[in-house]
Amino acid sequence: MRLGLRARVAVAFAVLSLMVAGTVSITTYAFASWYLISQRETTALTRAALDSRATGASLSDGLDPSAALSQIPSVGTSQPMIRVGSTWYTSSVTVPPGDLSAELLSMAADGGASQRSSIAGDPYYVVAIPIEDAMYVEVFPLRDLHQTLTWGGWILVLLTVVAGVFGALIGFSTVGRILGPVRRLGAGARRIAGGELGTRIDLTGDPDLDPIADSFNDMAEAVQVRIARERRFSGNVSHELRSPLTSVLGTAELLEARRENLPEREAGLVTVLTAQVRRMAQMLLDLLEISRIGSDDPPQWETAPIADLCREVVEARGIDPGLVVGDEPVVRTDARRFERIVGNLVDNAKHHGGGLVRVLIQREPTTVRILVDDAGPGVDEALRERLFEPFARGSAASRTEGAGLGLAIALEQTHILGGSLWVESAPEGGARFVAELPAGLGST
């Protein structure tokens, strides 16, 4: 699964922070380790040299090795030893002489040697210096230093992880701030797509982002002006044609009423003329409604029984109201717009879908669905989205009268009420138009 931009930037910031903090931590640990161990070894060499001289002087004065070792001042936790011949003398048994490296003692015979060794699992720094006819050895424990370095290393690891987490949080927050204006643009675009053509993006005074908001607002203004101009044109044309068309329709209906007095050929022409004029008149009414949808008053919200409204719509079209089945919700809606939606869907089923099969009402937790099933052949999936475009007609509708504006009007009215409209297959094989509307506060 591909991560989003915000997540990818957060991961990139985290990796970058880990790399930088890790590099700094490794460098710091390496330098601190080298410096502290070098200082400890230098101090141990100086101490061993001084102690060896003091021991050599004590032996020259005739003291026995044990007495000579007792003259060495006790500083820290080091352990001094003296080997005379093959006999070892020591003031402590922390490190047995037998555990000392034979190689170190062999090298020390030529002038002294030092070596870091692990004895019984603990780290030590061993210094061997020849004196008179003996070998002076002093063992310095490094366990406390190694523990300090270990704790310091883990603290650096923890700080590196914390730096990575902070890097991720900073990246996540920074991208969130950057994407904020982009989200506002996206939200504005969605509102415009939903019909809120007056949507504009507020300027924030940011010299980098305000030009983008200005461009968006200019685009929205141009879209609003163009759509308003097209609606005005459509409305004006429809209005100007309405009066002469009404006169033509009246004349045609008058002739149709007297068709018995006309010859058969002229009577047939009058019938065709009257049907086409009626169709054109209905088309003009639909065009006027579409042109007014964008400039209509806001919805007149009221609490209404959905099932009763559906029965009234069905009965007004001469269809059995018993086809309205399902739940009986009472919702907050605009009854006039709701009746227009259901009426257009019922008209579509009656005239273009082979007849109405049922109007099923389903109540959901937050929405109400009105399912209108017809007895037609259904709608191909490739045509389902285009079916709601103005003047779009299905294969069955192409053989019947109608301009293809009813579903477009139903879709626009559904959007105004905050719902959605789509078509799918009915259980009987016909088309099922589903109008999903918000239930509002009045649902029961």
Distance CA 150, CA 33 (A): 10
pLDDT bracket for residue 397 (50, 70, 90): very low
Instruction: Please check the confidence at residue 401 and state whether its pLDDT lies above 60.
Output: no
* Count of structural domains within the chain: 3
Q: Which of 235, 269, 293 is the last residue of a domain?
A: 293
Joined together, the tokens standing for residue 364 give 């959901």
Q: Which of 267, 293, 319 is the last residue of a domain?
A: 293
Distance CA 177, CA 408 (A): 40
Query: What is the predicted pLDDT for the residue at 388?
Result: 79
Instruction: Please check the confidence at residue 291 and state whether its pLDDT lies above 80.
Output: no
Sheet with 122-131, side-by-side order of all strands = 87-90, 79-84, 134-141, 122-131, 113-119
Higher pLDDT, 239 or 109: 109
Instruction: Name the helix (H) or strand (E) containing 174.
Output: helix 143-193
For 235-279, the DSSP string reads HHHHHHHHHHHHHHHHHHHHHHHTGGGS-HHHHHHHHHHHHHHHH
Same domain for 255 and 306:
no
Nearest of 164, 104, 186 to residue 139 by alpha carbon: 104
Same domain for 140 and 14:
yes
Tens digits of residue pLDDT in 225-277: 887 787 677 667 666 766 777 777 788 787 778 778 778 888 788 888 887 87
Instruction: Spell out the residues 6+ positions from residue 378 whose beta carbon is closer than 8 angstroms to its own.
Output: 425, 426, 429, 430, 431
Same domain for 144 and 24:
yes
Tens digits of residue pLDDT in 318-331: 999 999 999 999 98
Same domain for 134 and 11:
yes
Full residue range of the structural domain in which residue 19 is found: 5-148
On whether residue 141 sits in a domain, the answer given is: yes
On whether residue 383 sits in a domain, the answer given is: yes
On whether residue 99 sits in a domain, the answer given is: yes
Could you tell me the end-to-end alpha-carbon distance of the chain, in angstroms, rounded to an integer? Answer: 42
Of 107-116, 208-217, 280-289, 324-333, highest mean pLDDT: 324-333
pLDDT bracket for residue 345 (50, 70, 90): very high
Cβ 184 vs Cβ 152: under 8 Å:
no
On whether residue 185 sits in a domain, the answer given is: no
Q: What CATH number did the domain enclosing 362 receive?
A: 3.30.565.10
Cβ 316 vs Cβ 285: under 8 Å:
no
Same domain for 284 and 306:
no
pLDDT bracket for residue 11 (50, 70, 90): confident
Distance CA 439, CA 363 (A): 8
Q: What CATH number did the domain enclosing 39 receive?
A: 3.30.450
Q: Number of helices (H) and strands (E) in the chain: give both, helices first.
A: 9, 12
Q: Which of 228, 261, 293 is the last residue of a domain?
A: 293
On whether residue 160 sits in a domain, the answer given is: no
Query: What is the predicted pLDDT for the residue at 399?
Result: 46
On whether residue 204 sits in a domain, the answer given is: no
Query: What is the predicted pLDDT for the residue at 93?
Result: 74
pLDDT bracket for residue 311 (50, 70, 90): very high
- The pTM score is 0.50
pLDDT bracket for residue 443 (50, 70, 90): very low
| Rounded (to 5) percent helix, strand, coil in the chain | 60, 15, 25
On whether residue 359 sits in a domain, the answer given is: yes
SS3 334: coil
Counting every residue, how long is the chain?
444
Phi, psi of 404 (to 5 degrees): 80, 30
Same domain for 280 and 311:
no
How is residue 3 annotated by DSSP?
A: P
